[in-house]
Amino acid sequence: MHWYEKLNEYFPIEEMKSQEHMEALLEDFPEIYHKDEGKHHVLMYAEADDFIFIDYLFVSGESRGQGLGHKLLEKLKQKGKPIILEVEPVNYKDTDTKKRLKFYQREGFQHAKTIGYKRRSLATDEVNVMEILFWSPSNDSEELVYEALVRTYEKIHTYRDKHFYGKSYEPVEQAVQFDETQNRKDIFDEI
């Protein structure tokens, strides 16, 4: 099965970039946007000088629980940079959301409680609220995570969005908020 089909079957439509968008990122930014693909996994990520953003991590159902996800994350952790990703809030009707959170918690990821993230899906027009998780080798602040997320949104998520989708995502200041006075409930408390 083609790598995009694997992602498209696993991730909800409102979270998916188009295949053309992702292929353009791979072609236009080969020094930043990467694909690590195997028979049982697809890992799409952006790597800057000072952080890594995991765009998509898919491990096939038949391979889950065998350490493949851990190995993929370990390869990224060896680079010694903070790792950031977006994750769906716990949905009790979808047991995968709870399993996914437990996996990232076991891998040492923290919940960014001062960062709010919501983006209107260009595929469905629905507002998609996501939680931000991060792993840091040097206990970086959530403010640094926020700044990296803003750069990712502007460089990766909205790259040629009007061309690929016929319309643009909302400006970054509407999608990503940082409020250090807000200390939202830790998403890991829900699992």
How many CB atoms are located within 10 Å of the residue 84 CB? 26
Amino acid, single-letter form, for residue 150: V
Residue of 12 and 156 predicted with greater confidence: 156
Q: Which of 35-39, 66-70, 93-97 has the lowest mean pLDDT?
A: 93-97
Token pair listed for 167: 């319309």
Q: Long-range contacts: 123-131, Cβ < 8 Å, 24+?
A: 123/13, 123/14, 123/16, 123/165, 124/13, 124/14, 126/14, 128/14, 128/15, 129/89, 130/15, 130/86, 130/87, 130/88, 130/89, 131/86, 131/87, 131/88, 131/89, 131/187
Sign (positive or negative) of CA dihedral 18, 50, 114, 100:
positive
What percentage of the chain exceeds 90 in pLDDT?
A: 74
Taking only the tens place, the pLDDT of each residue in 147-184 is: 999 999 999 999 999 999 999 999 999 999 998 777 66
In the chain, pLDDT over 70 holds for what percent of residues? 94
- What pTM was computed for the model? 0.93
Q: What is the pLDDT of residue 92?
A: 57
Tokens of 47: 């790597």
Q: What is the mean pLDDT of residues 90-101?
A: 73
Mean pLDDT of the chain: 91
Mean pLDDT (whole number) for 85-94: 77
Delineate the domains of the chain, giving CATH numbers in brackets: 3-190 (3.40.630.30)
